[in-house]
Structure 1
């Protein structure tokens, strides 16, 4: 697959992930979802992290978080598209690739109240998927496009191997967010240019630019941001 290299400055987002003494932390799998209202003036859903957070406090981000054990067994209305599945499965076992798609949907629901899903009879399940299923929905994984990957550098107190997904807001069961879990103290649909003007972690700014490009150029290679031999690099596959 084609590959390109360029320097990447991750200073801003790493400022909120201080160095950790002792053994290096292994990155934990995580997923992020960029919801887009397409049209002449596209908008993206973003939230501002509450000031009390020890990680990226007060910064604007896309909803997302760590994979949970429940994501490996959660039911869904659809499966990931062939393109998304094939790309993820070059990096992950199939069951873990599917689980990360579910992570993106679950975390978005928990943080914003938005359901990327299809109507289904309400069901009683235990664990983190309880409220989602009680709302009468199953996750719509076919709505997800895999668009970017980033790994926090070594030596940080929090390290994530994050996959970024993108989905059209038309797939949401309801168009407006709620307060969610409270992790985000403000949630808003923002025009792309307005979003760029916010206080963003640099990786969020990078992915926001990638989203803008994908709205006009389909089939772009997926960027992978990581540290290689002490230098931040971006490769495209």
Structure 2
């Protein structure tokens, strides 16, 4: 998907729909993305105790140009190479097997490969390397050679994560460029940090699966994972202070695929996206009462998946605690906070002309669970019911535009069939009189 054009005539709302039967459906590319949350020790002005990492895509990028996205990308052959990972994971980890059974239609090897993809791409695009915590006694000989006792005060290095953190900036940049050049080098990087260095599969929870609509010429089958930045990667950042190492200092854009790395609260990301859509629709920044909260924000582009992911976090999870799995979180060894799994059903949006709850004719992408969604399999029709909503309202596209600009979204009644994590939520101009984010 690409950013909207600032000039040109708008296509009729039925333009994309009319083309659906004329173009062969393109098989989507398998990809993974990471929704990374950084804890804060005091709340933000808008009431959140965490921020979300968003990267701005380069203006000349082939996909999502100029848009803000979560780090991620297409799966690489190395992610699926069981032989290459056999020394790290002799068999898919137990938590991966369990999540594959509970949360989605993926097999354990498929889920492991996608997690590896998300972690590798996050490293390439942001420079953040997330590793499994290690027992304090497991100190690699490599780490001892890298860090003389004069730097550690004679204390042993507790983990590969600390070994990585202590490397010179130039060495980290070298590895980042190497992995970007060849995914196989990700394995080499891990081995260079010692025998106990493993990518942090246990940190990631499968959270959502979005598949590009069938009408588009370039498609992705993207699995989103969610994770809370562990203390081993960064001390907790205190809002409003500049002391110590914070989550902001841990990431940077790569200058090739991305041009900035931003930590935003979910509500801030939504407000800034609405400022963009309002300005595009009205030719000026938002000034009406309904868009007042967006009027003061610097506009950003969010496509429907990212907008929905932030909107649901913003409305249902202002505190990290509401997301956490109490049975797995705050483990004594690592202090990791692990997100509770939810059912993941593949969302392939269908572009449709709909009537919103205020009686207005609008263009929307409807998702499984919405009362007007059309299923390929009759066995899935139970997911929808009268009055249920799972849709994103979008502006009619400009000529030559690939991406869709979001006006608002609404989810209502979907938790009856999808369960925990799919509670009602609204954001932006969602076509009803219920509260907005």
Alignment of 1:119-158 (within 5 A): 119=160, 127-131=182-186, 133-134=188-189, 136=193, 137-158=197-218
Question: 1:228 deviation in Å?
Answer: 5.9
Residues 113-132 of structure 1, C-alpha deviations (whole Å, 9 max, x = no match): 1011142899x999414156
Are 2:287 and 1:232 aligned? no
Match of 2:112 among 92, 98, 101: 98
Structure 1 contact 63–107 (Cα < 8 Å) conserved = yes
Structure 1 contact 35–44 (Cα < 8 Å) conserved = yes
The aligned counterpart of 1:166 is 226
Query: Which segments of 5 or more consecutive residues in structure 2 lack a partner in the other structure?
Result: 6-15, 44-48, 133-159, 165-177, 235-246, 273-299, 325-339, 353-364, 370-417, 420-437
Structure 2 contact 2–66 (Cα < 8 Å) conserved = no
Structure 2 contact 252–260 (Cα < 8 Å) conserved = no
Using the alignment, how far apart are the partners of 2:80 and 2:124 within structure 1? 17
Question: 1:61 deviation in Å?
Answer: 0.5
Using the alignment, how far apart are the partners of 1:171 and 1:162 within structure 2? 28
Using the alignment, how far apart are the partners of 1:129 and 1:204 within structure 2? 29
Q: TM-score, normalised by structure 2?
A: 0.45
The aligned counterpart of 1:84 is 99
Residues 29-83 of structure 1, C-alpha deviations (whole Å, 9 max, x = no match): 1111011012442101110001111322111110111111100135347937255
Go from structure 1 to structure 2 and tell me whether the alpha carbon gap of 1:114 and 1:140 turns closer, same or farther (over 3 Å shift).
Answer: same
Q: TM-score, normalised by structure 1?
A: 0.77
Go from structure 1 to structure 2 and tell me whether the alpha carbon gap of 1:152 and 1:13 turns closer, same or farther (over 3 Å shift).
Answer: farther
Using the alignment, how far apart are the partners of 1:181 and 1:129 within structure 2? 22
Structure with the greater alpha carbon radius of gyration: 2
Residues 132-180 of structure 1, C-alpha deviations (whole Å, 9 max, x = no match): 6426242110000111111111131211111110111116636411333
Using the alignment, how far apart are the partners of 1:132 and 1:182 within structure 2? 22
Using the alignment, how far apart are the partners of 1:14 and 1:160 within structure 2? 17
Are 2:126 and 1:112 aligned? yes
Are 2:128 and 1:26 aligned? no
Are 2:201 and 1:200 aligned? no
Go from structure 1 to structure 2 and tell me whether the alpha carbon gap of 1:80 and 1:25 turns closer, same or farther (over 3 Å shift).
Answer: farther
Go from structure 1 to structure 2 and tell me whether the alpha carbon gap of 1:36 and 1:229 turns closer, same or farther (over 3 Å shift).
Answer: closer
RMSD: 3.6
Go from structure 1 to structure 2 and tell me whether the alpha carbon gap of 1:113 and 1:232 turns closer, same or farther (over 3 Å shift).
Answer: same
Using the alignment, how far apart are the partners of 1:149 and 1:37 within structure 2? 22
Structure 2 contact 3–301 (Cα < 8 Å) conserved = no
Q: Which has the larger strand fraction?
A: 1
Select between 166-175 and 224-233 the one with higher mean Cα deviation.
224-233
The aligned counterpart of 1:7 is none
Go from structure 1 to structure 2 and tell me whether the alpha carbon gap of 1:132 and 1:61 turns closer, same or farther (over 3 Å shift).
Answer: farther
Are 2:101 and 1:71 aligned? no
Select between 66-75 and 219-228 the one with higher mean Cα deviation.
219-228
Tell which has more relative contact order, 1 or 2 (C-alpha 8 A, sep 6+): 1
Are 2:64 and 1:56 aligned? yes
